[in-house]
Amino acid sequence: MPKTKLALTIPAALLFITQSVFAETHVVTAIGMKFEPMVVKIAPGDTVRWENMPTHNVETIEGLVPEGTEKIMSPMGENYQHTFDKEGIYVYICTPHIGSGMGGAVIVGEPTNLDDIKASDASGGLGRVVRKAIQEAEAM
């Protein structure tokens, strides 16, 4: 391998290794009808792991996630984890318990879609989750 090419390859490899080493896993625990913590702030590439989920799940809502991201619909009653790569706010609910306000948000990097979230007309349990997500994003 020519010397110049090698000189470029090594820093690129180191950067990749560094990012992998520093990617974190954040645990959210279902306690009663609440996710704790309700809002987690993470870096792109980090993972969120939901635990203690015997009667719960995680479902993202169209319009309350960054554009172009795939919907999350985790199997009911199972712990679940997801790695978030795209920046923005991801509001999620527990499908059977959102009426009781069981939901939360993951803020990945900068809250790039804050205006979209603010423009949503969510009410009831989902409205409470959305207001909490906005409050946390604005405090950043």
Q: Which residues bind Cu ion (CB under 5 A)?
A: 56, 94, 97, 102
**Rounded to the nearest whole angstrom, what is the least distance from the CB of residue 116 to Cu ion in the complex?**
25
**What whole-number distance in Å separates Cα of residue 81 and Cα of residue 79?**
7
- Whichever of 41 and 56 has its CB closer to Cu ion, that residue is 56
**Rounded to the nearest whole angstrom, what is the least distance from the CB of residue 71 to Cu ion in the complex?**
18
Question: What backbone torsions phi and psi does residue 92 show, to the nearest 5 degrees?
Answer: -135, 160
Which residue number has the CB closest to Cu ion? 94
- Whichever of 47 and 95 has its CB closer to Cu ion, that residue is 95
Neighbours of 3 (CB within 10 A): 6
